[in-house]
Structure formats: structure tokens, C-alpha cells
Amino acid sequence: MSVTLVFLAVVLLIAGWWLAHQRLFSKPWLEIGHTHDPRPHGPPDIAPAQIGLGVFLVVVGALFTLFISAYFMRMASTDWWSTPMPKILWLNTAILGLGSLLLHAARVTAEHHRDEASRTALIAALASGLAFLAGQVFAWRELTDAGFLLADNPANSFFYMISGMHGLHILGGLFALSRVIVKTRARPMDEKAVLSITLCATYWHFMLAVWLVLFVLFSGWANDFVELCRSLLT
Amino acid sequence: MVDIRHGTSEQIGPAEVEDVELYHPHSWWTRYVFSQDAKIIAVQYASTAIAIGMVALVLSWLMRLQLGFPGVFTFIDAERYYQFITMHGMIMVIYLLTALFLGGFGNYLIPLMLGARDMVFPYANMLSYWLYLLAVLVLVTSFFAPGGPTGAGWTLYPPQAVLSGTPGGKDWGIILMLSSLILFVIGFTMGGLNYVVTVLQGRTRGMTLMRMPLTVWGIFTATVMALLAFPALFVACVMMLFDRVLGTSFFMPAIVEMGEQLQHGGGSPILFQHLFWFFGHPEVYIVALPAFGIVSDLISTHARKNIFGYRMMVWAIVIIGALSFIVWAHHMYVSGMNPYFGFFFATTTLIIAVPTALKVYNWVLTLWRGDIHLTLPMLFALAFIVTFVNGGLTGLFLGNVVVDVPLSDTMFVVAHFHMVMGVAPILVIFGAIYHWYPKVTGRMLNEVMGQIHFWVTFVGAYLIFFPMHYLGLIGMPRRYYEMGETAFVPASAHTLNEFITIMALVVGAAQIVFLFNLIWSIRHGREAGGNPWRATTLEWQTPETPPRHGNWKELPVVYRWAYDYSVPGAAEDFIPQNQPGSTGLGAEEAS
């Protein structure tokens, strides 16, 4: 559970930093009137949806961190042998990264009111998302054809389960993205549209980061590092 | 004389923020059924939780009948007994307490207390309720599935949970249970995002964090914890579903079942326990923190006195929330672990007693020389303090490894957790319902029925759970279907068990009085008016009672904290948060 605890410590640090700016040491019973509100004009400008997405990503982060914790704890047993990584995963990673870049481009072009370019980038991002999912399915097929079945070995089980969970999150992201595409199709890119695209892009960058961590995990590059940590702890 | 800092202007115009676009229902269906109004969703959450809670209450009756009068009720066989235990525990902890505190009170109180028109994401809020309802329905379905519901105990420990020796293990029971929990977690996440972001972004002008009522602080912190803890339950459920349905071996070691070697091997049951309790312990505080917050407000309002040590109360809530994530393994002392870990977790567990005790002192000091009105909410709040201290003290016993090991599998533990996280939070829920019912319906609950309900519930709960401590100390094990002939359990213990069962039936019956009161008073209760308790917080200052969709005509502006009761020199003994003016000094606290 140490991975989870590290994640939690980071979340708590951020929460503590935020709380430190909330005048927790003030004496509210002595303060009457309005001058003590750190937000003198009511709620700040940052959109609730952005905060909401941030909090949601923390929850998603906790979810994958817990999966990774379970992975490391289960790894310690003797019946574990690593699953080979299909080559196509490199291509998939590149496609996912491309999607991230495209969404970034869509955001920047929308901010500069180059609406057509932005729309094209959005559709290209959607296509790259679908390509990534198709690539993941190919990777699964390749593994099962080579005889690495789900229940044969815990490493296989974790690979299918965690990459499947990541795929489900990508699928949810694609659903949101296609809604944004339909909504912005006939309208000029106003502030609201830029916000929606920014939210999609943030989500995508995050899921890319999660995938990179998972990729490192599955290919076993993290094992030496984990061994090092383990020997340091014991 | 102390220095009261005033704002530059006495009267401030309404907030300069643009109004949120409110969702406008067009038909009866979208107004009352598929509603996006947090108040309606709150009532839906609460009604569903109470309904499924009544099922769990009946299950506890059946369980107690078997324990008190073994062999008399032949339809309760060992399998059914374990199914009753499991479903009783799971329903009470997750589908009743969590859903009612966060989904029910959270939805109703957060927007109203903060001066918001609604939650920030009303659509997700509606989805949250419908997923919760779906989770409840899936859970109920398992009663009618072949093989019945799971009987694995509410902790669902593998490997027994998915083996044929356990009811529902090889049938549908465990699958439906796990699916229902997964749905619950997804639904809760949608609601939880709403509660957190509404507190962060939806507060009206002047409502700083340190002016929020403690109720909101409790619900807010509990929601943050739940958002971080529920993923662990989600992960555990998904992995166990894989083990059960797809034959993986995450948790399943090599096992011979009925003389047949199963295909599982190498899995770690301890891994499940870590994941489960990483959720399970914060869950205790997810239930307790809203209760702490609500009880603070009830005591302050009904003792007509400002809460003692508001800042400390806020800090204590936050500290308890953070600490509760590093104590989970104290549920696993008997699972076997490195002794140093036991030492670490025992220490952190005992440290939590410090902020918790601080809160208890502050409640008592708030009562000290207060103008105590023994209204129904106050009675329940007082009962909570006593019960929580009782349950908390036995927690100090069980937090120590050497004391926990012999007591762990006895009735002592049952008595402990029922006192501290069963009876105590339920008492707060009752108090809160008596307190806020007038705002929800516009009418007071009937006083006589309320008094009967309170005294039977309070005294009865003690008559049920106090003897259980004794039974545990003489070694009566928990989870046993029947005791049979045992040398160390005297005949008097069986008499005591019969007594506990009869009291359980009586206390359960008192809840029927309460339910009747809830329904009867909607029509026949006394008219309450807008602010029957003469309280300061914003939900009592709405232009209409019950508040209409959108809550306010014009968003309120907050000028002071939530506890200006009995202010010297003020015209009345309370000053609402949205009232401008200069007098507003909690006398005792300031000097």
C-alpha cells in the first residue's frame, strides 16, 4: 500500500496548501461584515467544471494507484512471471500521445478563433482515440493468440484488467469528446466551447500520463526501482 | 473589552456574480421524479435509504430471534443466519448511513446552508441518485436470486466469500453484492464531486470557509474522504468479481474444495483485507464526521449558545479525516502481520482519540451554562454524546493489539462498533430529522410520538448493547449461529441473550412509531413557520418554507459566523448570518 500512501500524501499536501490559504486561524466570531472574505466579489472566476474535473481526476488517480498497489503486493508471490509486451503497444502509446497533441492544438486554435482548424483537430483527436482503443484490442488478441490467457497467471490478469479499466476511461472521454464535437459543429467557438475543449484536453493529458505509468509498470522497467525501494524499506 | 473588526460598509449589495442558469422542470415527472433539484434528490435519497434500512432492521430482528431463542424459529437455518448478518451489516453501513448522511443531508443542506441556488452539477446529481437506487435494487434482487444473498459477512473476505461453503458464494449472491457496490461507488462519485465543488465554488458572498456551519464542514470533509476511500472498495470488488467470474487468482490461494482442487492458486487474501480496510476504516469517519458536524449545530442552536472553540472543531474534523487513512490495519491485528506494523497502527489509532476527545469536550463546554431547551433534537444530540463516549472508550481497548487479540472474535467487538458507529450516528440522524423536518415539509413532527420514540430508542439501545460487552468479556464468540453446549458460557448468558432479543424487538417497534410520525405529520403536524428553532444559519432564512426551486429570490449575503446566539445587547437571542449590523459578539468565547 506504500504507493497509495505516497499518492495520498501528495493529495493531502495539495489540500493542506489550499487550506493554508483559507484563513483557518481567523476568529470568525470577532469578524462582522464583508471585508474578511478572501473572495470579495463572490465565487472566483475559475469555472466549477474545471474544479470538478480536477477533483474527478484525483479520484481516477486514486483508483489507478490502488490497482498499482495491488499489482506490487501480488507480485511478491512466487507464481508470478511477467507478461511479454506486444510491440503494438509502442504504436498505441504514440497514438495516444498524438491525441493529446491534437486536443492541445484544438484548444489553442479555438482560443485564436480559427474555428475550422479547431474542429478538424477535434475530429482527428476522436479518430486517434478510437485508433488507440482498436490498437489495445489488437494487443489483447496478440497476447491471447500467443497463449497468455487471462486466468493463467496473475501478471496476465493484471494486464488485462488494468488496461481494460484504462480503456473504459478512454471510452468515457471519447463520449464526452464526441458530445463537444456535435455541440461546436454549427456554432462559432465561444468561451463555453473553449472551456469544453480545455476540459477534454486536460482529461486526455491525464489519461496519457496514467497510460505511460502503466506502460512502464507492465514492461517491468519499474521492477528494479521497486526492488530498490523495498530493500531500502526493509 | 475585545476588538471586534467590522467591515467598511454595514450594508452590502447582493452578489455581483451572474446567476447560475437554473434547470427548469417542465412536467410533473421532471419536477418530482427525474428531478435535478438538490432538495428533491435529498428526499429521494433519504426515503430510499430509510426504506432499505427498514429491511436491515427486520434482518437484525431475525438474527436476534435465532440468538435469543435458538431452535425455536426453524426457518432460520445456519445459511439464512449468515445471509441476514451480511445483509444487515452491508445495508446499514453503506446503503443507509453513508447514503443518508451524504446523499440525504448533504444534498439538502449544502446548497441551502451556503446560500447557493442548487448544486453546481445538477444533472450529475440526479444521475447519482438513480445509480444509487439501481445499486439498492440490485442488492434487493439478490434476496430473490437462486441461492439467496451472499452470507460472507459484511467484510466479504475471500476466499470463503466465493466458495461453495458460503451461501451465495457459488450462486448469484456474491456477484450481485459486488455489482451493487460497484454501482454505488460510481453513483456516489457523481454526488461527491457535486458536494465538494459546491462547497468550493458555490458559496454565496461573504460565506468564507470559516463562516460555514460545522454541519457543512463535516459533510465536506467526509465527502473528500469518501472520494479517496471508495476507489479502494471499487478495486477490491472488481478484482473479486474477476476471481469469481473469470477464474483469476488475485485473492484466491490454492484451495481444495469438496475434495476437488480448484484452478486458483497463489492469490493473497490479505491483499483483499488491505484494500477493504483502506476503504473500511475511513468509512467509519465518513459516517462519523457528518454526525459530528450536525450534532455541533444542534447543540449550539438548542442550547442558545455559540459553539465552544469553533476553530478547534474545524481543525479536529480535518485532522481526524487525514489521520483516518493511516489506521486501517487495526482491523487486521488477528490476520497476522509484522509486529512493528501492529505497533505503528495501534499508535495512530490511539492518536485519533485526541482530536475526537477535543470535540467531545467542546460539545460539553458548549452546553455549560447554556440555555438548554430539551427539544427532541437536543435530546438526541445529548444521547449521541453519551453513546459516542461509551463506544469510543471501548475503542481505546480494542485499538491495543494485546487487548484486541483475545476480544476480536467476541461480542465485545459487536457491542463496540454498534455503539460507536451504529447507534451514535443513527441518534444524530434522528435528531437531524426532527430538526430539519419543519424546513422540508413546513410542519413540525408530533412531540408525543417523538418523546416515545426517543426514550425507547435511547434506553433500549443501551439495554441491547451494554450486556453485549459483558457477553464478549466472558468469551461469547460473535458470528456463531448457535452456541450449543459450551463450558465457559453460563446459563445466565443465555437468559441475557433472550433479554437482548426482546429489547431489540421493542427498539425496532419504536422505529415504526417514528416512521408513522414522519408520514402523519406531513398533513397533521403543527404549522412550523420559517424558523421554528430561531436558528441563525441560512437554510432557516429562506423566503419560503419549504424552499422553492432555486432556494432564494435574491442570493443572501453573509455578514457573520453561524453561531451568534444570546449575543449581549442584541434584540433577540439569535442573529441570522445574513443580518448586517454591529452587535455580534459571542460573549463567553471572546474574552
* pLDDT given for residue A204 in this prediction: 97
B182 vs A: CB within 8 A:
no
A150:B248 CB<8 A: yes
The reported pLDDT for the residue numbered B363 is 97
Instruction: Please tell me which residue of chain A has the smallest CA distance to B239.
Output: A161
User: Looking at residues A49-58, what average pLDDT do you find?
Assistant: 95
Closest CA in chain A for residue B564: A29
Cell output for B314: 474545524
Which of the four pLDDT bands, split at 50, 70 and 90, describes residue A75?
A: confident
Flag whether the ipTM exceeds 0.90. Answer: yes
User: Which residues of chain B have a CB within 8 Å of the CB of A210?
Assistant: none
Residue A80 near chain B (CB below 8 Å) = yes
Chain B contacts of A15, Cβ < 8 Å?
224
What is the C-alpha to C-alpha distance for residues B395 and A230, in angstroms, rounded to an integer?
33
Residues 18-77 of A with CB under 8 A from B: 19, 22-39, 41-44, 46, 48-49, 51-52, 55-56, 58-59, 62-63, 66-67, 70, 73-74, 77
Nearest residue in A to B324, CA atom: A8
Give every residue of chain B whose pLDDT is below 70, as ranges: 1-23, 582-591
| Residues 192-221, chain A, touching B (beta carbon < 8 A) | none
- Nearest 5°: phi and psi at B368? -55, 120
**B16-35 residues touching A, CB cutoff 8 A:** 16-17
**Record: contact B209-A161, CB cut-off 8 A:** no
Judged against a pLDDT cut of 80, whether residue A78 lies above it is answered with yes
Q: Whose grid coordinates read 460497484? A: B182
A-contacting residues of B 93-152, CB under 8 Å? 120-121
CB contact at 8 A, B270 and B277: no
3-state secondary structure B274-293: HHHHHHHHHHHHHHHHHHHH
Q: What is the average pLDDT score of chain A? A: 90
Pairwise CA distance, residues B442 & B522, whole Å = 8
pLDDT digits (tens, 9 = 90+) for B380-396: 999 999 999 999 999 99
Mean pLDDT along residues A83-90: 91
Contacts of A183 (CB under 8 A, 6+ apart): A193, A196
Q: How confident is the model at residue A234 (pLDDT cuts 50, 70, 90)?
A: low
Question: Band of the pLDDT at A9, cuts 50, 70, 90?
Answer: very high
pTM beyond 0.80: the answer is: yes
Separation of alpha carbons B308 and B116, rounded Å: 27
